[in-house]
Structure 1
């Protein structure tokens, strides 16, 4: 029986995921979004969550760029069977582990020994080197690079073009600013900017 793949989120991020699924010849059963003003995306009708019978067997991808909202939805929809979306031009080692709900965009590289959690975004041309461990709900932004052995806690955002040297540990729900170069461990909830990256504040919006 053909899987029914649901894309939850009709944002720009949702467009990228729809495109990846279509490139992989995956049939999209429905796109859903809470916004009543959103009627279509890339030629597909957008449904409201109330339109679907969640007792049916679906596979789903949460196409939500915000890490906190993605976590909240995954907890609400814990009964759903989540699938992945890997762009055909991503390079993913056979020796990497990638958990359900995670997406890997075009040009991204995930190397051997990497372990990627649930509902992670590895965005366009990002590099996740060997033996990195990335927790759930992390977003590695376009062109960001993680050297070997980096560990990243839940919900952290690594910004556009940021670099993290080998074996650094980054805590949960941290924010690494665009273009930052991280050379030391980063505590939970820290906002890091600059070269080398330094903390400018802490936030508590988990």
Structure 2
């Protein structure tokens, strides 16, 4: 198993993998900030192709960069699910998705590939998260919410039931979303309002 990315996000993913007794052989980073993380060597990622059988997790928080890496490298991407998260056996989680400690994913939720469900986030029943979504710590999505590709729901934000959030949307910290949100906007406040 390898990680791609050596930021603070990688530290959390390493912790998840270690708690699941998964050995990480090395970490690759295009601009390595350190030479090792928790005893795992960090090497320069020169973009060389790896074997398609290489098991990997992308440890990059930025949705667009994570998407670019996933689409440029055909690897065997694995999920990383913290043992102290609660994931319903009736929920589906895509390849490469990371679920942090104390996150909850309830029945019939569908989480796409390479998503981040961060610490303490709640994904209620029948939610649909498209690929490369990031649900920040302590954000809560009520039932039947849809979040479009590459969108980020900020820390502590709340999304009411049945809301549809478009692609490439940023929802600010603590926002309360009470109506549908179109593509490529930033929304802040209570109630949420588009600022750009």
1:130 is paired with a residue whose SS is coil
Which string of whole-angstrom CA distances, capped at 9 and with x for unpartnered residues, describes residues 70-109 of structure 1? Answer: 01111111x2110000000000000000010000000000
Alpha-carbon distance between aligned partners in 1 of 2:139 and 2:172, rounded to the nearest angstrom: 10
- Return 5+ residue gaps in structure 1 as ranges: 202-206
Counterpart Cα distance in 2 of 1:98 and 1:16: 19
Matched, 1:91 2:86: yes
TM-score in terms of structure 2 length: 0.97
Selected match of 1:136 from 131, 138, 148 = 131
Q: TM-score, normalised by structure 1?
A: 0.92
Find 1:188's aligned residue among 167, 179, 183.
183
CA distance in 2, matches of 1:56, 1:164: 38
Quote the residue 1:55 is aligned against.
51
Quote the Cα distance in structure 1 between the aligned partners of 2:106 and 2:159: 15
In 2, Cα distance between equivalents of 1:148 and 1:37: 40
Corresponding residue for 1:26? 22
Q: Quick one: distance in 2 between partners of 1:50 and 1:155?
A: 25
Q: What RMSD in Å do the two structures reach over aligned CA positions?
A: 1.3
Separation of aligned partners in 1, 2:146 and 2:93 = 15
Deviations 1:99-147 (A, max 9, x none): 1000000000000000000000000000000000000000000000000
Distance 1:115 1:28 in 2: 27
Q: 1:39 aligns with which of 35, 41, 47?
A: 35
- Whole-Å separation in 1 of the counterparts to 2:52 and 2:91: 31
Unaligned runs of 5+ in 2: none
User: Which deviates the most, 51-60 or 163-172?
Assistant: 51-60
TM-fit CA distance, 1:38? 2.7
